[in-house]
Amino acid sequence: MSFKLTILGCSSAVPEIDKHPSSQLLNSNENFFLIDCGEGTQLRLKENNINFQRISHVFISHLHGDHFYGLIGLINSMHLLARKKELHIYSHIELKKIINSQLQVSNTVLNYPLFFHEISKDSEEILFENEDISIENILLEHRINCSGFIFREKKFKRKIDKDAIVKYNVPDFYLNNIRSGDDFINLKGEIIKNKQLTKKAKLANSYAYFSDTIYKKSISKKIEEIDLLYHEATFLEKHKNLAEKTGHSTALQAAMIAKKADVKHLLLGHFSKRYKNLDLLKNEAQNVFNNVIIAKSGMHLNFKTLIQNK
Amino acid sequence: MSFKLTILGCSSAVPEIDKHPSSQLLNSNENFFLIDCGEGTQLRLKENNINFQRISHVFISHLHGDHFYGLIGLINSMHLLARKKELHIYSHIELKKIINSQLQVSNTVLNYPLFFHEISKDSEEILFENEDISIENILLEHRINCSGFIFREKKFKRKIDKDAIVKYNVPDFYLNNIRSGDDFINLKGEIIKNKQLTKKAKLANSYAYFSDTIYKKSISKKIEEIDLLYHEATFLEKHKNLAEKTGHSTALQAAMIAKKADVKHLLLGHFSKRYKNLDLLKNEAQNVFNNVIIAKSGMHLNFKTLIQNK
């Protein structure tokens, strides 16, 4: 059961040779979710040895170019490389027209099914779920409609404790009942509690992606005790006025959200290119919250090793 | 008076880390013309130390993604970096809607004037001219409407021969007449021909860009004696059937056009990724035409040194 995040790009606005616009890949038990898709994302996937045909769902936070200009190229390359598998796009509705008009003008009829799913601009809901994970949108506040995403692994079941099964003489045919949470009554009529026959379940991981947004205090309620929060930190506190003007946050503000929500780790990103030394942002955030990570293109975060003290 | 071409990308279809989609920059006497604009072109310009704000005109051959997916990102970056200067786009009309819908959805009102100029789908004409250059479209044949471009420097005037001016006692006030082509009549009534007072003019350079197209024999008439012909060579002759099916040409066919038109040099590009060794394409073309160059991202061609035997 993997839960791994790869940062493909985490710079804001204008792409540079070593600073790529927003995109991340979340691998949750071999479900491949792409989050945002700035220009050049298909090359970033290749650089990170990720076969982009494995992506099944794409989540676009908002329709500023640095978050979606790479999507049409990715869709087209998937087609040219003979994809057959469905692709699902979750975004605000306007993207559908933009993508379709570009396919139409080139007479491209995709050889795989492409589905658009509209993200609401005024309500929060589960966008997708399967047996492994649920994904919901969170309303952020930016210059245009913008959506955060929370990815939550489904709760795992407790695992059979083989030694206890032997000890208490539980017959094979009853094991599925134990897996489902039943207690066991032996021949003497004694009740053996399910907890005595099973081991603690693996804790489910959770990830929240918040980019781009103003400092929105109330949002912390929605991500309480989440494992990892990616929060944009476009600016330092000394440029707070710029953050306010452009609908962004400072590193300190991101940390205040992380602290209030009591998340395990805070991942900062969406950096303005004015900062050459990103440690300044890290230090600022660490004034109020300890576990701060600075995002970097090509960074891999494995939640299994990252989140140790749950 | 410069006339220099930089290859930014010359691969077909799906971008790869070291194989970029179509884009070229022509610098004609410090007029910067961008020809096609595949995904990532803005980064290729940076890699080649070309300040993209200097581009004044963009020519898009056709609306397959590998020729224009990088344009919206470039337009947006120009805006974010505070461009004020006009930008002119020449393309088939559908591109205007595609670009505008992407600007609109992000509430972007560009801080510079952006002009779209429609390229006709059924006639050839001068698209642009100034005192240095004229640029015309040529109808190519591809799966969708596709346009080639010919860039022709304007004829240069003959230059004053200072020694002859002294020798024939031409007064200063008459020099502009000489520059304009007039003869000179001296005090004795003798006619001194303009040719005796001036030196040979620099020959004007010319460049034709033909990508993507089937083998179209008749097109050679339109590019007779051109200095450099960029002709797509997506395939080798052994894949001629694929070329026909997909609306492309083989290296041999490109060379046959070059030979028939008696151009000075042939530049091959738009290569299919199936060929690891591009010398195979060069060799095939050289069976019928000598001066063959294989395009490569980052290649600079200075017409002054390239074209020696005019």
B124-149: pLDDT as tens digits: 999 999 999 999 999 999 999 999 99
Question: In sequence order, what DSSP letters do the residues of B142-154 get, joined into one string?
Answer: SSS-EEEEEEEEP
Tokens at A79, concatenated: 């087609």
Chain-chain contact of B13 with A70 (C-beta, under 8 angstroms): no
Tokens at B274, concatenated: 């199936």
Question: Which candidate in B66, B212, B227, B279 is catalytic?
Answer: B66
B218-245: pLDDT as tens digits: 999 999 989 999 999 999 999 999 999 9
Total residues belonging to chain A = 310
Q: Are B197 and B178 in contact (CB under 8 A)?
A: yes
Q: Which domains does chain B have, with CATH numbers?
A: 3-156+202-306 (3.60.15.10), 159-199 (no CATH)
- The Cα B28–Cα B54 span in angstroms is 12
A182-227: pLDDT as tens digits: 999 999 999 999 999 999 988 899 999 999 999 999 999 999 989 9
Q: Is the pTM of this model over 0.90?
A: yes
Sign of CA pseudo-dihedral A291, A2, A212, A263: negative
pLDDT band, residue B17 (cuts 50/70/90)? confident
Q: Which residues of A158-178 are buried (b: 16+ CB within 10 A; e: fewer)?
A: bebbeebbeeeebeeeeeeeb
Is the minimum CB–CB distance between A226 and chain B shorter than 8 Å? no
Lowest mean pLDDT among A7-16, A231-240, A258-267, B274-283: A7-16
Residue B310 pLDDT exceeds 50: no
Is the minimum CB–CB distance between B17 and chain A shorter than 8 Å? yes
Question: In sequence order, what DSSP letters do the residues of A195-220 get, joined into one string?
Answer: HHHEEPPPPPPEEEEE-S----GGGG
pLDDT band, residue A309 (cuts 50/70/90)? very low
Q: Are A284 and A251 in contact (CB under 8 A)?
A: yes
pLDDT band, residue A13 (cuts 50/70/90)? confident
Query: What pLDDT score was predicted for residue B13?
Result: 82
**Which helix (H) or strand (E) element contains residue A4?**
strand A3-9
Query: What pLDDT score was predicted for residue B225?
Result: 87
Is the minimum CB–CB distance between A15 and chain B shorter than 8 Å? yes
A232-279: pLDDT as tens digits: 999 999 999 999 999 999 999 999 999 999 999 999 999 999 999 999
**A306 vs A208 pLDDT, higher one:** A208
Query: What pLDDT score was predicted for residue B308?
Result: 44
Query: What pLDDT score was predicted for residue A52?
Result: 97
A129-180: pLDDT as tens digits: 999 999 999 999 999 999 999 999 998 889 999 999 999 999 999 999 999 9
Across the interface, of A98, A105, A144, the residue whose CB is closest to B107 is: A144
Strand, helix or coil for residue B177 = helix
pLDDT band, residue B202 (cuts 50/70/90)? confident
ipTM score for this prediction: 0.91
- The Cα A282–Cα A168 span in angstroms is 53
Evaluate the omega torsion of the peptide bond into residue A212 and state whether it is cis, within 30 degrees of 0: yes
The proportion of chain B whose per-residue pLDDT surpasses 90, expressed as a percent, equals 92
Q: Which residues of B166-187 are buried (b: 16+ CB within 10 A; e: fewer)?
A: eeeebeeeeeeebeeeeebeee
- The Cα B285–Cα B278 span in angstroms is 11
Residues of chain B neighbouring A39 (CB-CB closer than 8 A): 39-40, 42, 70, 73
The proportion of chain A whose per-residue pLDDT surpasses 90, expressed as a percent, equals 92
B246-259: pLDDT as tens digits: 999 999 999 999 99
Residues of chain B neighbouring A118 (CB-CB closer than 8 A): none
Residue B157 pLDDT exceeds 60: yes
Mean pLDDT, rounded, for A72-97: 98
Query: What pLDDT score was predicted for residue A17?
Result: 87
Mean pLDDT, rounded, for B20-37: 97
Q: Rounded to a whole number, what is the distance in Å from the CA of A216 to chain B's nearest CA?
A: 21
Tokens at B53, concatenated: 């704000």
Q: Tell me the pairing of strands B206-210 and B184-185.
A: unpaired
Residue of A nearest to B64 (CA): A106
Mean pLDDT, rounded, for B109-121: 98
The proportion of chain B whose per-residue pLDDT surpasses 70, expressed as a percent, equals 99
The per-residue pLDDT of chain A, averaged, comes to 95
Question: In sequence order, what DSSP letters do the residues of B83-96 get, joined into one string?
Answer: --S-EEEEE-THHH
Query: What pLDDT score was predicted for residue A43?
Result: 97
Is the minimum CB–CB distance between A49 and chain B shorter than 8 Å? no
Closest to A156 (Cα-Cα) out of A28, A266, A296: A28
The proportion of chain A whose per-residue pLDDT surpasses 70, expressed as a percent, equals 99
Query: What pLDDT score was predicted for residue A307?
Result: 61
First-to-last CA distance in chain A? 17
Query: What pLDDT score was predicted for residue A310?
Result: 38
Mean pLDDT, rounded, for B265-269: 98
Number of H helices, E strands in chain A: 10, 18
pLDDT band, residue B307 (cuts 50/70/90)? low
Residue B309 pLDDT exceeds 60: no
Mean pLDDT, rounded, for B140-169: 95
Mean pLDDT, rounded, for B71-90: 98
Closest to B116 (Cα-Cα) out of B147, B174, B75, B77: B75
pLDDT band, residue B18 (cuts 50/70/90)? confident
**Which helix (H) or strand (E) element contains residue B163?**
helix B162-167
Is the minimum CB–CB distance between B81 and chain A shorter than 8 Å? yes
pLDDT band, residue A79 (cuts 50/70/90)? very high
Q: Rounded to a whole number, what is the distance in Å from the CA of A229 to chain B's nearest CA?
A: 26
Q: Rounded to a whole number, what is the distance in Å from the CA of A177 to chain B's nearest CA?
A: 52
